[in-house]
Amino acid sequence: MTTFDYTALAELYPARNWKGGAGRVTYKRFEAAAEALRFAIEELPPQFLLGTYLEVEEARFNGHQIRQLYESKDYPLPRRQVRAHEGKAQAEAGQPKRRRTAVSK
């Protein structure tokens, strides 16, 4: 991937079917692309990243590219700490970890 400007203005277009607590979010503008990436990865439900895209300096980035930019060593903001018991597959699927329960015989 070429050099990405994490300080550039960014526009985030969440998947059409994502609804937030206060209503439908269809567009959000950020002063810095790093903030848009943080919002997309940490705030949107993971299953809706697929239909989401980010526009920075007339370039568009899909959900997979958004994740790559967020996970890049060049990403300037602190990332949210993931609890040790949460697996990457669960986080991507948006599914909580299932606990094993004892079965009585």
| 83-92: pLDDT as tens digits | 443 445 444 4
Ranges of H-type helices in 1-105: 33-42, 63-71, 88-93
pLDDT at 15: 82
pLDDT of residue 47: 83
Q: Domain-by-domain residue ranges, the chain?
A: 10-80
Q: What does DSSP say about strands 10-13 and 28-30: parallel, antiparallel, or unpaired?
A: antiparallel
pTM attached to this predicted model: 0.70
Q: Which carries the bigger pLDDT value, residue 46 or residue 5?
A: 5
Asked if the model's pLDDT at residue 46 lies above 50, the reply is: yes
Tens digit of each residue's pLDDT (9 = 90 or more) over 3-40: 899 999 999 998 866 555 544 567 899 999 999 999 99
